[in-house]
Structures are given as structure tokens and as C-alpha cells.
Structure 1
Amino acid sequence: MSVQEDKQVIKSARTFSYLFGYLPVAATNLAKFKKRKAGMSQQDYSRLIHSEPQKWASGIMKRTGSQVEVSGLEHLPEGPVLFVSNHEGNFDIPVLLSSIPKPFGFISKEEVKKFPIIPSYMEEMNCVFLDRTDRRSAFKSVTDTIEKLREGHSILIFPEGTRSKGQGLKEFKAGFMRIAKDAAVPVVPIAIEGTSRIMEDNNNQIRPARVTVQVLEPVTPEQLESAGVKAAQVVRDRIEQALDTIQ
């Protein structure tokens, strides 16, 4: 094994050790947060809950040695939004949790519930769980997401459905447009590039990478309505154009 390969193995071990080693601390803090919930506004509690995953995600990214460049945070509006991002790699969620100051939940695979502690946090973050093998679960995930947005929570969705692993932007499943239109919230497109170089490109070993996150101008409910059946393509085009600008 070469020196470079040795470094990759060590970096991978440190990253995954932190990923799961932080869970006892997170569990203790979650119990404290829940006790404070009754005396807090929804907005303040969301910020409090978001602070812990943000620390966790920042710690993970630090251990990968990656450089994350974020732009467009000035585009974040007040109130609930549907974040719509391309999905390049497994590190998309840690990158976005550590980069986006606005609290949000996200749609996640049902299998995540098998992990300790993490699902409890995700429920408090207003994440939505999806069983892709069950049509009823897919329908419920849509209605649950709409309900959470109407309640004032922001949600992140990856409309490609699966990771592109750096192989170019895939087609967007149009179902996310129903969520945005029924909830009457803005869509905030996010273009993320470089996460696949952290792990997927390296046989699942961790390497430092340059990652860029671009928060794009919101697409208002009125603009979505005006675009009609082309609304999903409008959002995808904005993300694609942003990705094309990366050098």
C-alpha cells in the first residue's frame, strides 16, 4: 500500500469514527433540547435543533479535509421554502447541513431508521421518510412534505432521485413541483458540485475535494404557476446553468 493510500485509509477511519462517535453527545443534547421545546417558538426551536446537525456535519467535513465554497446565501428568503438540489454524492447532506444557515429537514430513505439516534434528530428536524418500494409510502411522503411546509418548516429534496456520482445532471422527477405548488412556497434551487470526489470517485475511501455550493435566486409560487408544466424544467435549467459556470 502506498503512502497516499495509507493517508486515505486513515482519513476515512477518522471521518467515519467521528460520524458515529459523536452520536452519544448528540443524544444527550437532543434530550436537553426537547425539555426546552415547550417554552420556545417554532422558529427558535428549529434553529436550536439545526445547530446540532450543523456541528456534526461541520465536524465531518473538517475531517475529510475538503474545501467548501458557498455563494448566494443572500438569496435565502424568510419563511418556509422547498430547497431543490442536484444530488452528486453521499456527502451532499453533510455539505448542505454545514453550509446552509436556514434550518431544514429533508426526504430520506426509510432504511435510515435502522441507525441509532440519527432518526430521532431527523424527526425533530421535520425530515420525511420514504420507502421507495411502497407506492403508498411515496404518496404519503408527498403529502407529509406539503404539510410540513404549510406548518412553516423548510424541506430539501433531490429530484434526480439517485446520486449522479459526478456523471452529469440527471432528469428531474416532476413530483416535487406538486409539493411546491400545493404548499405555495418558493423553490430555492441549489447547485452542488464536487462531493463525489470526496468518496464515490475513490472506491469509497475519503479524499479532500473542492466543493462548491451555489444558492440560486428563489422561484416564486407565481413564477411556478406561470411556467405551468415546464416549471420543473425551469428549476433544472437554473441548476444546470450554475453548474456550467464552475471552473
Structure 2
Amino acid sequence: MYNSIKTFSFLFGYLPVAAVNLKKFKAQKAGMGKAEYDALIHSEPQKWAAGIMKRTKSTVEIGGLENLPEGPVLFISNHEGNFDIPVLLSSIPKPFGFISKKEVKKLPIIPHYMEEMNCVFLDRTDRRSSFKSIEDSIEKLKNGHSILIFPEGTRSKGEGIGDFKSGFMRIAKDAGVPIVPIAIHGTSAIMEQNNNKIRPAQVSVRVLEPIGAELIKETDAKTLIPLIRSKVEQTVAEIESKKTGLP
């Protein structure tokens, strides 16, 4: 319970500071390049996310950062729990936006940052919103911004990786950008596996080798989607076996 109070107190207590900094950042935007401004905006959510993870008393170890290419990419990650975003924001140095449910817009300050981060908002109850989120993601990638997608569409809560929905392939193909798969393990142990009480956990993140834009363009989605999912699933299994000591 103590970890939960500390974590949520920081989550919302930091928002007034974030609001002041956002105003400063936006005032500097006109005199900055696109990549420079993305890095500036990313710095505040990165600090916020790192502060959240610190208060859960969890450890986060990341491997494969050498696989991050220059330029815009479509990150694809499995989705264990609500702490996936704070973990990835705090551990991946490359700025990115992400697709989020529209309910987040009701929160104070946070959606204003997300708009500057080039996040895309999705109404899961509206089929037209799904198509628009795909088009919006393609446009942001074409404009030089990286995007993160959880192709399972929902949290697995640590109970195995679900099917990958195909929309991300159209996004990458139409935008002409590489896909960078990410495997994440342990975030569901922070909250989802504890009746939503926050407890410390060991979290591991692996950035896998990118799949080039040319290969994406030339390869059928029905072939590539299972291949990407398999790589993520295999990496998650390897991380788990190392933690448990089982072969």
C-alpha cells in the first residue's frame, strides 16, 4: 500500500511542475528543429516516468539500445501492464509518441504533453476512430516522429502474448519506416498481478533488431506479422528463463 501511495502521489504531484515546463518548452518551439524539439519534449515525460518507476521500487534493465536506428521508426511491443509506458519512456532514449485510448484526455496536463509528443488518441468504441488512428500514425511517422504501438491491443497481465493485430503493418508500410520490435517482461508484476496494489518487480526490456522499410514493403503481412510476434515471444521466454533459472 505504501508503494501505491508514493507512486500515485508523485504521478499527480509532479503535474504542476510539468505544466510550467511545458509552457517553457512550447515557447522555444519556433526556434528549434523537429528532432531537437522532440528530444526536449521527451525529456520531461522521461523524468516523470523515471520518478514513477523509482517509487515503485522496481528495477528496470534494458538491452539492445545499439539496435536503435536514426530517423523515425515504428516501435512494436508486447503489452503486459499499465507500467509498460513508464518503463519504456524512462528507458528508451529515442523520443516517441504512442497510441492511447481517448479517455486519457480527461486527465490534467498529461494529454497536453502527449499532443506535443505526437501521440495518437483512439476511441475503441468507434470503428472510424481506428482507421483515423492509423492515418494519423502514418502522417506523424512521415513527418519524422517515432510512434509506439502495442499490437495486442490490450494488456496480457503476464499471461502470455496475444495475437498481433495487423494495423501496424499498414502503418509501417505506408509510412516507409523500419519496425523496431521490443520485448518487455515483468511490468504486470508491479500492479496487475497484485490486485492493483503496487509492488516492486524486476522488469526487463529488449530492443530487437529493426526490420527495414524495404523488407516490410516487399514481404506479405501474413508472413511478417507472425515472424515479428515470434521474435518478441521468444525473447520474453528467454528473459523469463534467465530469471527463473529454468531451461
TM-score (norm 1): 0.96
In structure 1, distance between residues paired with 2:184 and 2:46: 17
**What is the match of residue 175 of structure 1?**
167
Deviation at 1:234, TM superposition (A): 1.6
Q: Does 1:47 align with 2:39?
A: yes
* Distance in structure 2 (CA, Å) of the matches to 1:161 and 1:131: 12
Structure 2: distance between partners of 1:28 and 1:191: 34
SS in 2 for 1:235: helix
For residues 42-191 of structure 1, the aligned pairs below 5 Å read 42-191=34-183
Equivalent of 2:5, from 10, 13, 19?
13
Does 1:35 find its partner at 2:44? no
Q: How many residues align?
A: 239
| Aligned residue number for residue 236 of structure 1 | 229
Deviation at 1:230, TM superposition (A): 1.3
Q: Which stretches of structure 1, 4 residues or longer, exceed 6 Å deviation after superposition?
A: none
CA distance in 1, matches of 2:187, 2:233: 16
CA distance in 2, matches of 1:227, 1:191: 22
Amino acid in the other structure paired with 1:76 = L
Gap runs ≥5 in structure 2? 243-247
Q: Return the offset for 1:210.
A: 0.3
Give the AA of the match of 2:228. Answer: V
**Structure 1 letter corresponding to 2:17:** V
Amino acid aligned to 2:50: S
Q: Which amino acid aligns with 1:137?
A: S
Paired letter, 1:20? F
Q: After superposition, what is the alpha-carbon deviation per residue over 1:219-245, rounded to whole angstroms, capped at 9, x for unaligned?
A: 011222333131111211110111121
**Equivalent residue of 1:245, what SS?**
helix
* AA in 1 matched with 2:193: D
Residue 245 of structure 2: aligned partner: none
Q: Give a deviation string over 1:127-150, Cα, whole Å, max 9, x none.
A: 000001111111100000000000
Matches of 1:234 and 1:155 in 2, distance apart? 20
For residues 154 and 230 of structure 1, the distance between their equivalents in structure 2, rounded to whole angstroms, comes to 24
Aligned sequence identity (%): 71
Q: Secondary structure at the match of 2:219?
A: helix
CA distance in 1, matches of 2:167, 2:52: 31
Residues of 1 paired with 2:207 and 2:111: CA distance?
27
What TM-score does the superposition give when structure 2 sets the normalisation length?
0.96
